[in-house]
Amino acid sequence: MHFVKWDLLWILWWCKLVLLVRCYTVHISEDVGPRTLVAGAERGARCTLDQVLAPRFTERFLGTDAAAGVVFVSDSIKCASMRANPFTVYTVADCTDSGYRHLLTSQYDVHVHGRNCSNKRKRKPQWDMEVLSLLSTHSHRRSECHQAGSALFAVGGLLPGSPIRCKVTNSRDFYFSEGDLFVSETLCWRQDTLLELDLLCDVLTGEGLSARVNPIAVHWRVGQGPFRQGHLGKLLEKAALSDSGIVSRRRRSINSSPQFQPPMYQVSVAENKPAGTSVVVLKATDVDEGEAGRLEYFIEALFDSRSNNLFAVDPANGAVSTVEVLDRETKDTHVFRVTAVDHGTPRRTGMATLTITVRDTNDHNPVFEQQDYKESIRENLEISYEVLTVRATDGDAPVNGNILYRIINSNGSNDVFEIDSRSGVIRTKGLVDREEVDAYMLLVEANDQGRDPGPRSATATVNIVVEDDNDNAPQFSEKRYVVQVPEDMSPNTEILQVTATDQDRGSNAVVHFSIMSGNTRGQFYIDAQTGNMDLVSHLDYEANKEYTLRIRAQDGGRPPLSNISGLVTVQVLDVNDNAPIFVSTPFQATVLENVPLGYSIIHIQAVDADSGNNSRLEYRLTETTSNFPFSINNSTGWIVVAAELDRESVDFYNFGVEARDQGYPVMSSSASISMTILDVNDNNPEFTQKAYYMRLNEDAAVGTSVVTVSAVDQDINSVVTYQISSGNTRNRFSITSQSGGGLITLALPLDYKLERQYALTVTASDGTRLDATKVFVNVTDANTHRPVFQSSHYTVNINEDRPVATTVVVISATDEDTGENARITYYMDDSIPQFDIDSDTGAVTTQMELDYEDQVSYTLAITARDNGIPQKSDTTYLEILVNDINDNSPRFLRDHYVGSVMEDVPVFTSVVQVSATDRDSGLNGRVFYTFQGGEDGEGDFIIESTSGIVRTLRRLDRENVPVYSLQAFAVDKGVPALKTAVNLQVTILDVNDNPPVFEKDEFDIMVEENSPIGVVVAHVLATDPDEGSNAQIMYQIVEGNIPEVFQLDIFSGELTALIDLDYETRSEYVIVVQATSAPLVSRATVHIKLVDKNDNLPMLKNFQIIFNNYVTDKSSSFPTGVIGRIPAHDPDVSDQLHYKFEVGNELNLVLLNQSTGEIQLSPALDNNRPLEASMRISVSGETVVLLSVIAPPSEWHSAGRGESVFLLLFH
């Protein structure tokens, strides 16, 4: 190891020779002790310290340590003996790499400071690096060629770090690609010729937390060898003398901040990868050396602290890896603030952002909103009716979550349904009949169509219950029910159960029973629910032997369906419950004492209301004695003379008669008979009236007394008997002779329609003689017929909107009677407030407004009653069906609907679903949806008419319209149609689709020079019309900040100065700033203009004034005008200099203009002798610089110049 004076070690190698100059600045004091470190050579596995190049005057105070590869202070430093300050030291390292040999030269500019040291400003090299690349070959050819597109050498191994990107700025002969330098066109080298190019690179230096990306400017000279050592030295001298080696201004030596290149990392990693999976290696560069350039890396989640638990960074090398298994569905994007911190003093940081996108894998099965769907539909629906919508979601990304639906078990009865593979809407494709299939179970599959690693699917069960429509009327189990009931059955006894079935379900299958007709006296009752029929009052076989009841079975549907074909025949069985009844009692008779034997005296008649043997009678006489003169025919009841009568022996007989039936138990009745024995006489009986006029109602009961006719016989003790001799048509009447006359009674029922008048001839006889009279009996009509309706059941329809007092129907009944017996009065059995009936006409009218939605039908029991005595009636049932009118507007399930949608969704994306119902039925209750007449966001939205789903119709832009206020209508299909409006609010969610925007493209900023380091120069702000995290802006300087003068805060946009700004060095900076809202960017140009401050001392240069005064004519030759100006200047443009003598010019030998510094000589100097004066002058702005003016010593005089004066001004 030795020192040479700017000599280079000549290395001849059959390979490429590279000379790389790296620049460092070192400041030391002249008072430092020995072993103080000055420079350290590059060391590495393939490099050894080969040589140290330094000026010769440094040999006495600098030494080297070959083992350590360092330059250090070996002795005291004396600035007075230094020929240059600062001086430059080069360390040369010999490096080998992949068959190449390089000379790596590091440049150290050493500044020595002290009382006796003068430091002068040097211009900083324009380039961060100067590289000389020399190509040596095996031959001694004058030139060598490289074809276009061929690589010269690898740049990466020659730069202080790994080049991320490089750009050749001033030559079209070269270009950079993938770490190598290439030639653009065929290039042939000429010996001793250098080609120059400028290369701007971003290089990554350091590892771990100390890694950073720094920009570097390289001036490269490329030539061909071999070279002689002297020739090589000339090339190096040529490089050293280039303009790029001049320092432009002084810059405070500060610890530079690390820089990331790029400032924004955007990477992706697949989900479900194991913990420890590598994601990205962060690299920042720091131009500082040593600890100041060693970086540590940190990451911190910007928006969601959960991200901190999922990723980690190696502080040393910046390698980011996963900590846990990632789940994209939990969080798909992680944004970190990346910080690189150096170990300088003070510690500096550089920041960037890291956005990690988690790539999707198909690791989620589709998930149905419900595992078991339950829906009910009505039977008889139209084809394509939407039953329900099944929805499944897939947590994966759209490429793995594109769900298609299908019905797996679509065969058999399930074939009546189909599913839309995209929307999941299940519709009917056939008719649904509950009576055939009342429930369906569909197995629906959702397949996500995923590819990585493959599709996934899920199934859900859809249970569809078919609700019943009332489309089946009840059916009786028998066409006719026959039951026999003894007439003595106790009331409230069940006699029969009527059954009917309805194939419908629920209330539609609930059957209610009622008696429509035949229950004239209300003897029967049927339980509406069970159909049990009870006897509610006593039956009388003798009154009615058989009843035929019509039964109605009505279901509970709306409207209800009825079946009135049910017939019940009740046969009344006779019971011997009636004793015989004598037609008249007591019986009285007379008989002439001379009547022959066998003479029929009186007809004893009794009747029995029973039937059969129960009504077959036998007669016998009671209370008789032996030799009783009368006997009775036990079958006919005639009493005849059985023995001769002798009035003189017995003139009066009183005995009894018994009538007995043949039933079980035997029933009997007794009557008394008075028999008077009459004497025979010779006078005819005479009636008291020649004619009798009587009225008799046709329904008079048998045995009713009509009239008593009376005849008087003048004979003593004569007994008059009476007989109807003629006119007794059909033997309707009978007559009984009594003491008071002949009693005519009704023997058989009358019929007004057959006979309205009877003219009876009645004779009175005393046994031998007769008399006759006329009895006229007029038959009056009886209330024998009940009113009869034309039908036992009426059904009418009426619209629900008919006004009050509307006539619904006129019900009429007929009565075959006449007069009052045929005058009919109508009334309703039950009080139904909605209706009233006119009692005379039978007109049924409305009393209140009807509402189909409240009640769809009414059943009125209407009775027609005549005005006879007793009154008779008939009952019919009026079923009034209310017709639905479109009188109800649709009603939305919510008063207001709210939805949201991302602004970048595709057209026809579902936003929100509205739903409305209508209480009307049929088409009046069928609802569809429309924006027509409402607000559809100027055509940005559309609503599906059947489902109510609101979808986008055009691309949305949140920045244009952030919130839509829509108005939709639900419209029914009635005539006229009714509609209801509802308001919808749709919020458009932001997507990062707008780049940041600066207020203007160019900014002019005025900054005072000498502002402290770190002062905020300006706020450079941009706005982003997006919102939230999409509007977060990050700033960076992308151009013009080489070397690094300013720093821009990545988040706040604060622009700060990193160095002392000096107007005199540079008055204006132009940088380009970039605002990023990933991945969108905008740029603006910032002109930073410095405002000058008076921060520089006036500067003087030594000068001397020499003049001779040996002229002959002094008065005309002495220089009395301005002979010059003090050579002072101030770098500050705003400073005004002032000049004055401090001392030494008391004799006014020199005249000075204090404002301009112009100098004139005083005539006092006009003499022939040398004059020496010690003068001191000051030049001031805001500071003062002192100068001295002295007369030079005698040795300065030149021989033969005569008397001269030398003035030397110095400071």
Vertex 63: Cα angle to 62 and 66 (nearest 5): 150
DSSP output for 991-1049: -S-S--EES-SEEEEEEETTPPTT-EEEE--EE-SS-GGGG--EEEEEES--S--EEE-
Cβ atoms of residues 223 and 235 within 8 Å: yes
Residue 7: what pLDDT? 27
Residue 68: what pLDDT? 67
Residue 983: what pLDDT? 96
For residue 160, cis peptide bond before it (omega within 30 degrees of 0): no
75 within domain boundaries? yes
Among 312, 333, 359, where does a domain finish? 359
Cβ atoms of residues 809 and 772 within 8 Å: no
193 within domain boundaries? yes
Residue 165: what pLDDT? 81
Among 822, 853, 883, where does a domain finish? 883
Cβ atoms of residues 685 and 720 within 8 Å: yes
Are 623 and 718 members of one domain?
yes
Cβ atoms of residues 998 and 1082 within 8 Å: yes
Q: What span, in angstroms and rounded, lies between the C-alpha atoms of 390 and 444?
A: 9
At residue 582, what are phi and psi to the nearest 5 degrees?
-75, 145
The backbone region for 380, taken as left when phi is positive above 0, alpha when psi lies in -120 to 50, beta otherwise, is left
List, for residues 819-860, the tens digit of each pLDDT value.
Answer: 888 899 999 988 899 999 999 999 999 999 999 888 999 999
Are 73 and 204 members of one domain?
no
1023 within domain boundaries? yes
How many structural domains comprise the chain? 10
Q: Identify the bridge partners of residue 284 per DSSP, sorted by sequence position.
A: 260
DSSP secondary structure code for residue 931 in this structure: E
Are 441 and 538 members of one domain?
no
Residue bearing tokens 């078919």: 466
Cβ atoms of residues 771 and 737 within 8 Å: no
H or E element, residue 373: strand 372-378
Are 1037 and 1121 members of one domain?
no
916 within domain boundaries? yes
Alpha carbons within 13 angstroms on the beta-carbon side of residue 14 total: 3
Chain-centroid distance, C-alpha 631: 112
Give every residue of the chain whose pLDDT is below 50, as ranges: 1-22, 42-45, 98-101, 121-126, 137-142, 226-253, 1110-1112, 1114, 1183-1206, 1208-1211
Cβ atoms of residues 808 and 798 within 8 Å: yes
Residue bearing tokens 């909103």: 369
126 within domain boundaries? yes
Tell me the pairing of strands 1002-1008 and 963-972.
unpaired
Are 652 and 672 members of one domain?
yes
DSSP secondary structure code for residue 1202 in this structure: -
CATH at residue 842: 2.60.40.60
Are 90 and 208 members of one domain?
no
- The whole model's pTM is what? 0.39
Helix (H, G, I), strand (E, B) or coil at 982: strand
The contacts of residue 713 (CB under 8 Å, 6+ apart) are 681, 683, 684, 685, 686, 719, 720, 764, 766, 769
At residue 240, what are phi and psi to the nearest 5 degrees?
-70, -30
Residue 693 exposed, middle or buried by CB count within 10 Å (0-12, 13-18, 19+): exposed
Tell me the pairing of strands 162-168 and 194-205.
antiparallel
Tell me the pairing of strands 1002-1008 and 87-97.
unpaired
Q: What span, in angstroms and rounded, lies between the C-alpha atoms of 885 and 797?
A: 12
Are 797 and 944 members of one domain?
no
Among 67, 90, 114, where does a domain finish? 114
Write out the two tokens for 1175. 């003068």
What is the tally of helices (H) and strands (E) in the chain? 2, 99
Residue 178 exposed, middle or buried by CB count within 10 Å (0-12, 13-18, 19+): exposed
One-letter identity of residue 821: N
| Gyration radius of the chain's alpha carbons | 69
Q: What span, in angstroms and rounded, lies between the C-alpha atoms of 828 and 837?
A: 7
Are 589 and 738 members of one domain?
yes
Are 587 and 698 members of one domain?
yes
Cβ atoms of residues 75 and 69 within 8 Å: no
Tell me the pairing of strands 174-177 and 180-183.
antiparallel
Three-class SS of 634-647: CCCCEEEECCCCCC
Are 224 and 268 members of one domain?
no
Are 460 and 481 members of one domain?
no
Are 313 and 456 members of one domain?
no
What is the extent of the structural domain holding 921?
Answer: 891-989
Q: What span, in angstroms and rounded, lies between the C-alpha atoms of 778 and 760?
A: 11
Tell me the pairing of strands 793-799 and 873-883.
parallel
613 within domain boundaries? no
